[in-house]
Amino acid sequence: MIIKRYIGNTTQEAMAQVKMDLGSDAIILNTRRIRRKGIAGWFSRPLMEVTAAIDHEVVIPKDMGDQKPQQAKENQYNNYTNKEAFDNLEKKVDAMGQMMQKLVNQISQNSTKTSQESWDQGQKYYEGLIDNEVRKEYAVDIINRAKQLHRKNGMEFHKCFERVIMDCLGNKAKPIEVFPGQRKVVLFVGPTGVGKTTTLAKLAARFTIEQNKKVGLITADTYRIAAVDQLKIYADILEIPMSIIYSPSEITKALEEHSDKDIILIDTAGRSMKDQDHEKEIREMIAFGNIDEICLVISSNTSPQGCVNIINTYKFLPHYSLLFTKLDEVTTYGTILNCCLLSKKPLSYITTGQNVPTDIEIANIDKIKDLLIGNMEL
């Protein structure tokens, strides 16, 4: 009896080999699925093995030509020998495959665990951002950036999150700087009621008292009688000259009156964000006044949608920094993050009360980050 094994991609393919080699009298002893050779076999479709036999002393296949009976017997012996060697090899491959499968499972479990931990942490920080009134799209982006950083360098997620927040806040503040021999003209703009006049007075006091600079004040906020009177009181206390202008074209003359000053601070009226005339006045003032710097003053209690409205209203400004007031009146700090991400502009100052000149400071990015994160329930 001759016993041989045939392998094909399908049972039909293997059976066709049996019929061609042993003829239609062959007896099928066994069929089974087997893996392909090598490690790749664990990740590909299995093959079909058919073991068949024929009760002849000698089988001379068509492709053996004039092969002698003795040669056929030797081939029969070789079939048995090859089968034994193949079986041993297959056992080794199976053992290796099992080891590979265990390794794959372990890697998968570790990856799943890491992903789950990252997701759990990300979810907590996301909720913390939302509780701080950070806009949802920004919260999602911040968490995704922190996760990418966590996967890339293996740092603790908390540190990755802090780094992303710092990046969103601009990493470094841009306060007003006055250099010897260079006059600086600074314009303050922003919505009604954010505290522009008081903020301007605080800065005037700091430049006068702390830096010993010659300061001049100009107010264009003639729509509120109290605003002019309020700034006049501060100017008298600090012994700083103040000019009043009623139209943008008057700014040139006002600046000439303060030609000997190191820095000139200009207060503007707060108007409705729908007031198109307000934009025109600001544009003309910038053109006539050769403005060096602009501070967009925003209250820290501005809503997420309010941030969008303000930034869009003042998007015509050629350049500006963000100055946030009333930080002492809020318990959430998402407004600062929202405006930084919306405008892509640097922070300059924050105010923390009504006292002149003490309740103002250069924006400390690290401190703002700590306020934001420290306010989260993590």
pLDDT tops 60 at residue 58: no
DSSP code, position 247: S
- Using alpha carbons, list the distances in angstroms from residue 283 to 180, 194, 245, 362: 28, 21, 15, 27
Kindly state whether residue 178 falls inside one of the protein's structural domains: no
- Residues 91, 147, single domain; the answer is no
Which CATH number fits the domain that encloses residue 366?
3.40.50.300
pLDDT tops 60 at residue 216: yes
- Residues 144, 278, single domain; the answer is no
Q: Find the mean pLDDT for residues 10-22.
A: 87
Domain extent for 57: 2-97
Domain count, the chain: 3
Task: State how far the Cα of 302 lies from the Cα of 334, in Å rounded to an integer.
Answer: 9
CA-nearest of 88, 81, 80, 157 to 125 is: 157
Q: What does the pLDDT read at residue 103?
A: 67
- Residues 340, 243, single domain; the answer is yes
- Residues 191, 232, single domain; the answer is yes
**Beta partners for 53?**
3, 27
CA-nearest of 71, 25, 26 to 5 is: 26
Per-position b or e across 273-311, b if 16+ CB within 10 A of its CB: eeeeebbebbeebbebbebbbbbbbbbbbbebebbeebb
Q: Is the dihedral of CA 9, 11, 12, 14 positive or negative?
A: positive
pLDDT tops 50 at residue 220: yes
Q: What does the pLDDT read at residue 202?
A: 96
pLDDT tops 70 at residue 375: no
- Residues 256, 367, single domain; the answer is yes
pLDDT tops 90 at residue 169: yes
Q: What does the pLDDT read at residue 78?
A: 54
- Residues 338, 230, single domain; the answer is yes
Q: What does the pLDDT read at residue 203?
A: 97
- Residues 34, 155, single domain; the answer is no
Q: What does the pLDDT read at residue 44?
A: 67
Q: What does the pLDDT read at residue 59?
A: 46
Q: What does the pLDDT read at residue 47?
A: 86
Q: What is the pTM of this model?
A: 0.68
Q: What does the pLDDT read at residue 232?
A: 92
pLDDT tops 80 at residue 45: no
More confident residue, 189 or 88: 189
**CB within 8 Å of 116: residues ≥ 6 apart:** none
Work out the pLDDT band at 81, boundaries 50, 70, 90: low
Flag the least confident range among 2-6, 42-46, 58-62, 203-207. 58-62
